[in-house]
Amino acid sequence: MYDQLARQDFSRARRRAFWQKLRNWFTGKDNDLLPLDEVRQNIPIEGPHYRGLKTIPIEKIVGSAGRYHEFNRAFLPMQDHTEDRWVNIGRAHYQDVTLPPIEVYKMGEVYFVKDGNHRVSVAHDRGQAFMDAFVTEIDIPVSLTTETRRADLQLKRETALFLDQTGLHRLHPEAGIELTLPGEYERLLEHIQTHQYYLSKNAAREVPMETAVQSWYATVYQPLLSEIQRQNLPAQFPNLSGTDLYLLVSEYQWLLREAYADEGDRQRAIEKFTEALNAISPDAEQSGLELTRKLKHAIWIDDIILAQERANFVQSTGLDIPITLPGKYEKILKHINDHRWYLGIEQERPIPWLEAVASWRDNLFTPLTEIIREQEVITYFPGRTEADLYIWLIDHKSQLSEQLGWEIAPEIAIMDLIGKNENPQVPEASRTLSGRRGPIFSDILVAIGHEPGSWIALDQAILIAQRNHSRIHGLHVIPASDFAADQEHAHLTREFERRCTAADISGKLAIENGSISRKIAERARWADLIALKLDHPPASTGLQKLSSGIREVLRRCGRPVLAIPGKPASLQRMLLAYDASPKADEALYLAAGLLTQWEGMSLAVLTIDEKNAPAAESQTLAREFLASHQLAAEYLVAEPPTGPAILEIAKSRKSDLILIGGYGAAPIREIVFGSTVDYVLQKSKIPVLIST
């Protein structure tokens, strides 16, 4: 009877094994026992240690030393030839015969049967939870659990190799570092080796691997893993281990930092991250998309990047410079490295790192932040620091210089940066150069043509630059219909640089194609003064006035224009034509600036006694303004017409510069009634400075 019952149990167990095999074939699930030999081939072992007789949970028996092919993971019989032995043990159970304990190896959390596979199978079939076993424990550096399958052994091998290379299982047994993503341990090892490289570089000696591992675990891995856990990512992605999430978030951090350093955007970093994730594990596409969406809006990652970069920067330089933008500390380190290189070339010696840091701070960073502070630029960028603005300023200045072909002053770059800020609180006055410090004409734009006479404008600009410590920016415009040879342009460039070098003036020539007057007007915003040879003054009659190139420059440029009709002048005796109009006021302010900065210059203020604008009233305003700035001037009154009066006084006083306000009336009114500016430009033999 007991024999028949046992055979019926075996038949049911075989049928269950068959249906499980069929189901697993459809689902692709691995339900095999773990072969002990394969585990030992893939995972380094230590021991064994005999632990004696123990009562063990049957559910944790997942492998066999020799009969793994005769049973499945539930220890259901897979082959008919095991029937007799299986039935004998089953009958013994029905007869309450006590069987000897089985023998097992323990590895990690699970057990492998050395002797007693059929006893385990029968106990499983009867729903038995525990059984006695003689246990021999084998130490392994990785974890084996009831979830481990044969397909996982290769990954366990990679884990073991990684732990052997790093010693993490000895240094931090609690770490539990384990990846489920295939082939990624090499990348994890690169993290530690990179950390070791920077530790060695900072210490100026080779840091041992063990020291690097402990430092990486304490300062890189554990803080990021703690933040990942705080953000509840493990619960949201249960199919990924903590180490998986560390590696993926680190990868995303690196891509973000690279994007920030290269002025890229987050979207490109996200796209690269998605590509990398799909390459690692195409089967985890849905998890990858969910993780990408989660990280896309994770501001905490930016905070981590910033904290890490700041700590590295402080350690490298000894400077604690607050920055609010991730990826920018690397830019500052590059600035310091570039400064170190140029310093070495200049001094013809190797420059120690910390010496370069101090020189950069004293000669570049501090002067620029002082300008930023004086201009109160920080008020236009709430929440940012002076160091943020320093980085923006350097980058913006470099972009402008490359775009224009000139070296741009920091003050100009600052004001342009403010102008590009979309903050509506920025006052319009701050979008001009009125707040700049230093020489009144720091940057002079000079128009250069092919005609020999056009060099007169450069000669005049050089006289001003020598007096004013200015930079000269030449501009040669090629009309659209002009196909002049490249060598001719090269000749202009060489001659321009030769003249500037001979005068010990910083100067560079840019060449553009298009409308001459429009190109001058476009570049005027980067200069304080436009100097040009007055070869074509405005026409004297009709609509031809409106087509004048000089008129278009004056209307568009927004900067003072110095028109030179003949030979360059020393600009010592200035005549200001003043009628108290808004444009004349601008000319008055410019005259005051020149008197303040140009030693030896004299000023005469000419007012015209007209019915609608009595000379006395205008003269009083000019006197009061100049007196308030402790500036002296000679005051003259003349009868209309204004244009001839200006030229006559200038000639009689031997003035070498006429200063006049720009166009104030509507163009059609100037056509009908005439323009003083046009008349002076048509008739003057000396330079005319028009404040536009």
Per DSSP, the residues of 52-102 read: EEEEEEGGGEEEESS-TTTBBTT--B--GGGHHHHHHHHHHHHTTPPPPPE
SS3 per residue for 624-662: HHHHHCCCCCEEEEECCCHHHHHHHHHHHCCCCEEEEEC
| 419 confidence band (pLDDT: 50, 70, 90) | low
Once rounded to an integer, what is the mean pLDDT over residues 390-394? 85
In a domain, 158, yes or no: no
Kindly state whether residue 628 falls inside one of the protein's structural domains: yes
Q: What is the pLDDT of residues 591-640, one digit of tens each?
A: 998 998 888 899 999 998 776 667 788 888 989 999 998 999 999 998 88
Radius of gyration, CA atoms only, the chain: 42
When comparing pLDDT for 134 and 259, which is higher? Answer: 134
In the predicted model, is pLDDT for residue 30 greater than 60?
yes
**In the chain, what is the straight-line distance between the N-terminal and C-terminal CA atoms, in Å?**
119
Q: Are residues 49 and 99 in the same domain?
A: yes
Asked, for residue 162, whether it belongs to a domain, the answer is: no
Q: What is the DSSP string of 5-27?
A: HHHHHHHHHHHHHHHHHHHHHHH
Q: Token pair for residue 662?
A: 């720009």
pLDDT digits (tens, 9 = 90+) for 344-389: 998 999 999 999 999 999 999 998 888 888 888 888 888 889 898 8
Both 453 and 539 in one domain: the answer is yes
426 with 449, same domain? no
Task: Check whether residue 81 and residue 174 sit in a common domain.
Answer: no
Domain co-membership, 552 together with 581: no
Overall domain count for the chain: 5
Q: Over 70: is that where the pLDDT of 218 sits?
A: yes
Answer yes or no: do 342 and 276 share one domain.
Answer: no
Q: Of 431, 460, 482, which marks where a domain is finished? A: 431
CB 689 within 8 A of CB 589: no
Instruction: Judge whether residue 422 has pLDDT over 50.
Output: no
Taking only the tens place, the pLDDT of each residue in 305-343 is 888 888 889 988 999 999 988 878 888 998 899 999 999
Q: What is the pLDDT of residues 124-163, one digit of tens each?
A: 888 899 999 999 999 888 888 888 888 788 888 888 888 8
Residue 161 lies in a domain: no
Same-domain status, 417 and 519: no
In a shared domain, residues 17 and 139: yes
Model pLDDT, residue 438: 62
Between CA 138 and CA 142 the distance in angstroms is 12
**Two tokens at 572?**
């010592």
- Domain end call among 516, 541, 568: 568
Among the residues of 361-485, which ranges form H helices?
366-374, 386-404, 410-420, 455-468
- Looking at per-residue confidence, does 260 or 655 come out higher? 655
507: CATH: 3.40.50.620
- pLDDT reported for residue 430: 33
Q: Which domain holds residue 140?
A: 2-149
Domain contains 198: yes
- Give the per-residue pLDDT at 340: 93
pTM of model > 0.75: no
Helices (H), 152-284: 153-166, 168-171, 185-203, 209-216, 222-230, 233-236, 242-261, 266-280
User: pLDDT digit string (tens) for 492-535?
Assistant: 888 999 999 999 998 889 888 888 888 888 888 888 899 999 87
In a domain, 464, yes or no: yes
Query: What residues contact 434, with CB distance under 8 A and at least 6 apart?
Result: none
Is 63 part of a structural domain of the chain?
yes
The answer to which of 80-84, 98-102, 230-234, 459-463 has the lowest mean pLDDT is 80-84
For residue 156, tell me if it sits in a domain: no
Residues 618 and 546 in one domain: no
One domain, residues 208 and 322:
no
User: How many other CB atoms are found less than 10 A from the CB of residue 623?
Assistant: 13
**Are both 403 and 465 inside the same structural domain?**
no
461: amino acid identity, one letter: A
Question: Is pLDDT larger for residue 304 or for residue 51?
Answer: 51
Q: In this predicted structure, which of 48-52, 102-106, 300-304, 398-402 has the lowest mean pLDDT? A: 398-402
DSSP labels, 502-567: HTT-EEEEEEEES-HHHHHHHHGGG-SEEEEE-SSPPPSSGGGGGG-HHHHHHHH--S-EEEE-SS
Q: Which of 431-435, 476-480, 540-544, 653-657 has the lowest mean pLDDT?
A: 431-435
563 and 577: one domain? no
Among 99, 119, 149, the domain boundary falls at 149
